[in-house]
Structure 1
Amino acid sequence: MSAKEASLHPLVACARGAETLRVWSVIVTIFGDAVAPRGGEISGPALAELTAPLGIGGGALRVALHRLVRDGWLERRREGRPSRYALSARGLAEFAPAAARIYAAGPAGEENLTLWLAEPGLAAPRRAELEREMAGRGAVALGPGLWLEQGANEAVSAELFGFHGAAGTPPGWLRARLAPEELIAAYRALGDDLEALGRRLERARPEGALAAALRVLVVHRWRRCLLRHPDLPVRFFPEDWPGEAVRAQFRALHRRLSVAADPWLDALIGPALQPLRLSK
């Protein structure tokens, strides 16, 4: 454990668990959960104030912001001395569908599925490119050149052939492919940490910056699990699937922490113009 990790507030350490935080990824979570509803723009100093309770130092923050601007996720502009940052068009396009899943009351209820098939014998480099593109859309690979995706989306390439409609009973091998053991273990670890945090919050009432930091971690870790698998009805997952129990924990903690976090964020960034609401 580093000295910085040892100095974390006990509630932050509890919410973080054994998770290794990638600063650039945490910033993406912050923009989605806290910045986008408040006009979509934040100053560098305000972002530093928000990330300090997470143990993120100024140097690590600057490196992560530089990377996100370089890679086209954020845009930077000067207003006086401090820089201001906002999601780019690419960032906004990625944020909208992810946010719909993160704050949804449950998984997709309508079985609106597409099975994509690539040309057999497609050259390995091109197939690898398609695999990356399909994974980026949340599709799950069922085999070489074969993907299952939620929704009736356009093909990423004319090389793909799609079959759209409802599915029959998912066989055991498909459920195992959609929810590998490492994903189930990640959900269970998150569930244990959220349960522990919930117990601590029965005795402690974090305010302002601490409540905002805790909410960032809760959203970040939920997002990290949720976006590792496609948005499919529960029947596509194993019988011991922990995802929906963890969803209930996430929603309860998000509501609890928002009571103190939202007024502090309004003062730091600006009032929420389009508050993110947990769907019913």
Structure 2
Amino acid sequence: MTPPDPKRQPEAEPGAAGPNTPARPQSLMLTFFGIHVLGTGTALSSASVIDAFARVEVGEDAVRSTLTRMVGRGLLARHRRGRRMYFSLTARAAAVLADGEERVQRTGAVNRAWDGTWTLVGFSLPESWRRERHDLRSRLVWAGFGPLQSGLWIAPGHVDVAPLAQELGFGDRIRAFHAEAAAPTEAGPLLRSAFDVDAIAEGYRSFLARWGDGTAPAEAHDDLGRLLLLHTDWLDLVRGDPHLPAEHLPERWPAEPAEALFRELSDRFAPGSRRIAQEILDRWEPEA
């Protein structure tokens, strides 16, 4: 989950890169603005963003082109102040980041509160609507759905589908239901039919392998860089995890130790990251 217009989610939704692959600059940029800008009402100068990204070995040209693309995609707003250029979050990007923060801070990686219900979504779009079908499928994956069979997607628990249908403008082309499985259907096989459980588990194992020795990847030069890479890796995992019910997952599900490691390292890197950010980030509060 890379949409070019407001009806499509940014390319980091869901996970743009796995924990064992270098994060794309836009994923890093969204995470960076989520850590240092979300909720502050401030904008950052391009020069200070370039300085920050040098700490994770992302060059000036890549930073400038990423900032420009994200302005074009409605994720960042550009402000000129004298000879300097500043960038702030748009309302759309702030909503995306706030949702990611909600998943990280409150939802958690392990679903132990499933009530046995499912949300089902059926749709029928003309074959010629290729872009619209891509948009809808991307949004369904982002919302925690998996494809059960042709035109029918499921997600555990109650998911509010109305905002998604309204945003995409599909109206009565989408049907949504809340239901429980009935015999002979069992939850475990149902999960494996709709979701790649093995791939989700491998993502968490890769995260543990990348971060589990207590040291950050070599491209992170200080705590600001370490926190940025850590949060980008974790958000990629969370965005790709439909929060499947724990009781129907394999034993020793790796999400729990991976989440514990993420929180431990985040607490370790955060103070140093804040200190460095205060020293290097050039902030400005644009007029409303």
TM-score (norm 2): 0.75
Q: If each structure's helix is expressed as a fraction of its own residues, which one has the higher value?
A: 1
Q: 2:265 aligns with which of 226, 238, 253?
A: 253
8 Å contact kept, 1:176–1:238: no
Q: Cα deviations across residues 23-59 of structure 1 (Å, max 9, x unaligned)? A: 1111011111222144342111121121111001101
Q: Match of 2:241?
A: 229
Q: Match of 2:6?
A: none
Q: Match of 1:188?
A: 205
Q: Match of 1:141?
A: 147
Q: 1:211 aligns with which of 217, 223, 229?
A: 223
Establish whether residue 124 from structure 1 lines up as the match of residue 127 from structure 2: yes
Q: Cα deviations across residues 218-259 of structure 1 (Å, max 9, x unaligned)? A: 101111111112234323533342112101110110011112
Task: Determine what percentage of the aligned residue pairs are the same residue.
Answer: 25
Separation in 2, partners of 1:236, 1:126: 36
Q: Match of 2:9?
A: none
**Structure 2: runs of 5+ lacking an equivalent:** 1-17, 284-288
| Worse overlay, 142-151 or 216-225 | 142-151
Q: 2:232 aligns with which of 220, 224, 231?
A: 220
State the number of aligned residues: 246
Q: Aligned-residue CA RMSD in angstroms?
A: 2.8
Separation in 2, partners of 1:62, 1:78: 15
**Structure 1: runs of 5+ lacking an equivalent:** 1-15, 202-208, 272-280
Query: Which amino acid in the other structure matches residue 73 of structure 1?
Result: L
Separation in 1, partners of 2:107, 2:142: 23
Q: Match of 1:3?
A: none
8 Å contact kept, 1:46–1:268: yes
Q: Match of 1:46?
A: 48
TM-score (norm 1): 0.77
8 Å contact kept, 2:55–2:224: no
Cα distance, 1:178 vs structure 2: 2.5
Q: Match of 2:12?
A: none
8 Å contact kept, 1:114–1:165: yes
Tell me: CA distance 1:61–1:236, structure 2 relative to 1, closer, same or farther (3 Å).
Answer: farther
Tell me: CA distance 1:229–1:167, structure 2 relative to 1, closer, same or farther (3 Å).
Answer: farther
SS of 2:247's partner is: helix
